[in-house]
A and B are shown apart, each in its own frame.
Chain A
C-alpha cells in the first residue's frame, strides 16, 4: 500500500471507527464482484457509513488523498459499475436503508439509497400504491443503484424508466458538500435539472443519500394477453396496431423460442408447436370496462395469429410475470458447463424499428456463431441478447464482437447501445462507438467537463462510462 493510501485508511478508521471500515482481506474479497462477468481489484478498504455526514467525511478524506472511490449499493450491476478497476475505497450505501416518508396525497415516497425496490413496493402496497420501475433484479437492487443506472423494467412501456419517477435527491459530492437537487413537487421549472443529471450517472458525480420518488396508485384491474407467432414481423405488427389503436399496455414483452423454453414450466402455458416467438401484453382499466379493453386487444392479436390466450386470474398473472422476470435466471440452466457465463446485451431501438432490427440481430448471432437467446421489452424497443460466453480469452473476444455487431445494428436503427443497464466498464467502448457513429464525440467531452465540475480530482468511479482509446 502506498504511503498516502495507508494514511487515508488510518484517517478513515479514526474518523468512523474500525467497525465501519473493513480492511482485512476476507472482508474485502466479496466486494471484488458484482453481477457482471468482470472481476474488480481488491479494494484497500470498504466503508459502511450510516448517514450522509459519514459519507461526506469519507469522501473528504479520499479526495484529499486522491484515493479512488467506488460507490455501491446492492452490487447487482451487470456492467461492472459497482466494482473497481483500481485498488481504492468502496463506499457501501446499504446501511442507509430507511423509508423515511410515504405521502399518498402528494404522491411521493422519501427513501434512503439502500432500500431494496421490492421492499419499497411491499410497503407501498399497504396503501394501494406502487413505485413503477421494476428491473428484474428488484428483489435485491436498490433505490440508489437504480437511480444511478436509470433502471427500467417490464413496466417501462407504460411508466418509462427510473428518470420519470425521481423528484429530487440529496447528494454528497467528493469535496464533502451535501447538495439537494429537486423538491417534493410534481412540477418544477427552476434552472438546470441536476436531478436528471444525477440519474444514470453511475456513481461518477456524487453519492445519493436520499431520494424523493413519485408513486402511483395500483391499477384497478388488469388482464394478460398472450399470442404465439412464427415470425417476428407479425409480433411487431401486432404491437404497432395495439399502440395505434390507443391502447398503452402496462407491460409488452416478447421472447424467442430459446427464452420460451427456459421458462416454459414457470409459465405453465400450452405452447403451439409452430411457435418461434411469443408476445405478452398486459392491459388495465377500471373494472367495468376491462372486458371491452381485452376484446379490442384480442381482436388485434387475432389479425396476426390464430392462438391467443387471455388470463385474468391474478394468481396466474403473477406466476407468468414472475416467470418472465426470471427469464435471465432461467437461462442459467441452459449453460453447457459451470464456467460458461451469460452476458446480457441491452440495446434499444424505436419500437417501430424493432422487427427490422431483430431480424438483423438474429443474423449477427448466426454469423458470429455464438449461442444467444433474445427477449425484450417490445413496447419500448429494448432487446436483450443473452450471450453464452465461454470463460476463455477466445470466448470473451467472440462475445465482445457480437456485442459490437448488435450495437451497430441498434445505432443504424436510431437506437442506443444501452437501454437500462448502464455503461459501466463493460459498454464504454460501445458508447464511444455510438457517439463516433453520430459524429458527436464532443457530447462525451461535455460529459467529461461536467464530471470535472463535480469531481475535479476524478476520484469517483474512475474508468466507468468513458472509454479512452489508445
Chain B
C-alpha cells in the first residue's frame, strides 16, 4: 500500500459522527475551529487527497495533533485521527501538498546533525556525572526527555513575546546556519533543570534499590528520533533509527529500560515496525521496581500518560500508586484520558497552554496532589508545587 492508499484506507471508514471531537483536546483549545479537531483532520485529509493540486495549507491541522489517540478510543468505526495526522505529516513532508513547518525543519536538521533536537547531546548526559553504573547488557535509555524540558520551557517563555510569524522566520534563518541551534544551551530554566536531573537520579536510585543492574551510555546515548517520527520525516527517521539500532547492537545491548512513555512507545512499538530485526527487550522502569512502600496520608490524583493508556502499553505505575495512596482519578481517565497538551509545546505553545490549564483544573478538582508519570506531563501541568513526578513522590514513600 502506498502512502495515499494507507491514508484513504483509514479515512474511508469514517462516518463523520463527530464522537472523536468530544474527546479531542486540540478542538476546544482552538475555539472549535474543526480543522484542529479529530473529525476535521480526517475529513480534511480525505478531501485533500481526493482533490490534489488544491492550494490548501494543511500543515497546522496535522502538526497540531497531539498524537494522544483519545479519538480512536471513542470512534465507533475504529478510525485513528492521530494516525491520519501522522501519515498526513509524511504526505506534507514528501512535498505533495502544504508547506513544511520551518520549526519542524529546523528540529529535523538538528537531530540528524547533532543527535538531539536542540543540539544538546552532551548536556543531556550531565545529570549522571558521578553515578556508578554496572557493566551490563541492560541499559537505561533516557530519550533525552527529562533533560530537554528546561530548555523548551525557557524558549517558550521568550516566544510568548514574539509574533508566531517572526518565530517561524527565525527558525528558517537558524536552519541555514544550523550550528546556531547550539546556542539554545544558554536558554534553560535552572530550577527545572535541577529538578529534572534529580528525577533521573531518583529513578536510578530506585532501580538500584530494587536490585536491577544496568548501564548508561552517557554522552553516547543518542536521542531516539521521536521528533523525526512525530513530525512526519519518515525517510529520515528510518535511516536514523537504524543508526541508533546499530549503535545499540555494537554495544551488545539486550534490554532497554525506558523512563518516559514517549521513548518507551517508540522503542517498544515503532522501532520493531521499521527495523524487523530489532530484538531488544524494552521495559518501563516502574515495572522493575521491587520496593516496600509506606502509606501516603492523604489523597492523590494521577495524570496518566497517553502513550501508555491510550496507546495500549501496559505499565505498573498506576497500580503502585494505588497501593500507596487513596487515588482519585479525574473524570476523564483510562481510555478516556485527556492529554496534558505537552506535544504541542514546541509548535503550538498557545494551544498547549490552554489544554494544560484545562487539564490541570480537572485534576485539581479531584485532589490537590497531582502525580505525573511523564516529564512532558510534569512540565505542562506543574502550575504549583503540589504537582510531582512519579519518581519524586514514590521515592519518599519507600519504607526504610
Do A30 and B34 touch (CB < 8 A)?
yes
A326 contacts across to B, CB distance below 8 A = 76
Task: List residues of B (10-38) whose CB comes within 8 Å of A's CBs.
Answer: 12-13, 15-19, 21-22, 31-35, 37
Q: Which residue of B lies closest to A116 (CB)?
A: B22
Contact partners of A118 in chain B: CB under 8 A: 22
Note all chain B residues with C-beta closer than 8 A to A137: 17-19
Q: Are A76 and B15 in contact (CB under 8 A)?
A: no
Question: In the complex, A118 Cα to B23 Cα: how many Å?
Answer: 12
A137 to B20, CA, bound (A): 11
Interface-central residue, B12, B15, B43, by most chain A CB under 10 Å: B15
Residues 161-176 of B at the A interface (beta carbon under 8 Å): none
User: Contact string, B330-353, partner A, CB cutoff 8 A, digits 1/0?
Assistant: 010000000000000000000000
In the complex, B154 has a CB within 8 A of chain A: no
In the complex, the answer to whether A30 meets B56 with C-beta atoms within 8 Å is no
Q: A30-B39, A338-B12 are in contact. Are A332 and B21 (CB under 8 A)?
A: no
Per-position binary interface string of chain A over residues 38-63, scored 1 when its CB falls under 8 Å from any chain B CB and 0 otherwise:
00000000101000000000000000
Stretch at the interface among A21-29, A280-288, A392-400, A452-460: A21-29
Does residue B318 face the partner (Cβ distance < 8 Å to A)?
Answer: no
Q: How far, in angstroms, from A6 to B12 measured CA to CA in the complex?
A: 34
Q: Are the C-beta atoms of A74 and B12 separated by less than 8 Å?
A: no
- Given A329-B76, A329-B77: A95 touches B32 (CB 8 Å cut-off): yes
Report whether A338 and B16 are in contact in the complex, using a CB–CB cutoff of 8 Å: no
| Given A25-B56, A332-B15, A32 and B33 contact (CB-CB distance below 8 Å) | no
A-B contact count (CB 8 A): 91
Contact between chains at B21 and A140 (CB < 8 Å): yes
Query: A residues within 8 A CB of B33?
Result: 22, 27, 48
Contact A74 B21 (CB under 8 A): yes
> Within the complex, which residue of B16, B31, B56, B74 is in contact with A20, where a contact is CB–CB below 8 Å?
B31
Cα–Cα, bound, A400→B17 (Å): 21
Q: What 1/0 flags go to A138-181 for Cβ under 8 Å of B? A: 01100000000000000000000000000000000000000000
A19:B57 contact, CB within 8 angstroms: no
Q: Are the CB atoms of A27 and B32 closer together than 8 Å?
A: no
Closest-by-CB residue of B relative to A19 is B31
Q: Per-residue 0/1 for B231-259: is the Cβ within 8 Å of any A Cβ (1 yes, 0 no)? A: 00000000000000000000000000000
Distance in angstroms between the alpha carbons of A34 and B14 in the assembled complex:
11
CB distance from A284 to the nearest CB of B (A): 25
Q: How near does chain B come to A437, taking the closest CB pair, in angstroms?
A: 31
Q: Quick check: is A35 within 8 A (CB to CB) of the other chain?
A: yes
Taking the closest CB of chain A, its distance from the CB of B76, in whole angstroms, is: 3
Q: Which residues 64-95 of B have a CB within 8 angstroms of A? A: 74, 76-77
The chain A residue sitting closest to B98, CB to CB, is: A26
Q: Which of A25, A35, A114 contacts B16 (CB 8 A)?
A: A35
Counting CB contacts under 8 A, is A89 at the interface?
Answer: no
Q: Is A122 an interface residue (CB 8 A)?
A: yes
A105 at the interface (CB under 8 A from B): no
Asked if A29 contacts B43 (CB within 8 A), the reply is yes
**Is there an interface contact between A35 and B18, defined as CB atoms closer than 8 Å?**
yes
Instruction: List residues of chain A with CB within 8 A of the CB of B17.
Output: 35, 76, 137, 140, 329
Produce 1/0 per residue, A73-95, CB < 8 A to B: 01110000000000000001011
A332 contacts B22, CB within 8 Å?
no
Contact status A332-B77, CB under 8 Å: yes
Contact assessment for A339 and B12 in the assembled complex, using a CB-CB cutoff below 8 Å? yes
- Known contacts A137-B17, A139-B22; is-contact A25 B40 (Cβ 8 Å): no
B56 touches A24 (CB 8 A): yes
| List of B residues within 8 angstroms of A114 by Cβ | 32
Which residues of the partner chain A approach B61 to less than 8 Å between Cβ atoms? 26
Assembled-state Cα–Cα distance A433/B35 (Å): 38
Does B106 make an interface contact (CB < 8 A)? no
Chain A residue numbers with a CB within 8 Å of B40 are: 29-30
Residues of B close to A139: CB separation below 8 A: 19, 22, 74
- A33 at the B interface (CB under 8 A): yes
Within 8 Å of chain B (Cβ to Cβ): is A407?
no
Cβ contact of A341, chosen from B15, B19, B43, B57, cutoff 8 A? B15
A330 within 8 A of B: yes
A328: chain B residues at CB < 8 Å are 76
CA distance A24 to B98 in the complex (A): 13
Least distance between B106 CB and chain A CB atoms (Å): 23
Chain A residues near B136 (CB-CB < 8 A) = none
Q: Do residues B18 and A342 form an inter-chain contact, with CB atoms below 8 A?
A: no
> Is B54 close to A, CB under 8 A?
yes
Compute how far the CA of A22 lies from the CA of B56 in the bound complex, rounded to whole angstroms.
13
B34 CB contacts on chain A under 8 angstroms: 27, 30-31, 46
Given A116-B22, A342-B15, does the pair A25, B32 have CB atoms closer than 8 Å? no
Q: Is B383 an interface residue (CB 8 A)?
A: no
Question: Do A29 and B9 touch across chains, with their CB atoms under 8 A apart?
Answer: no
State in angstroms the CA–CA spacing of A92 and B35 once bound together. Answer: 13
Apart from A30-B39, A137-B18, A332-B15, 10 more pairs, CB < 8 Å: A19-B31, A26-B56, A29-B47, A75-B16, A76-B18, A137-B17, A140-B19, A140-B21, A140-B22, A332-B77
Q: List 12 A-B contacts (CB under 8 A).
A: A25-B54, A29-B35, A30-B37, A30-B40, A31-B34, A33-B39, A48-B31, A74-B21, A75-B16, A76-B19, A118-B22, A332-B76
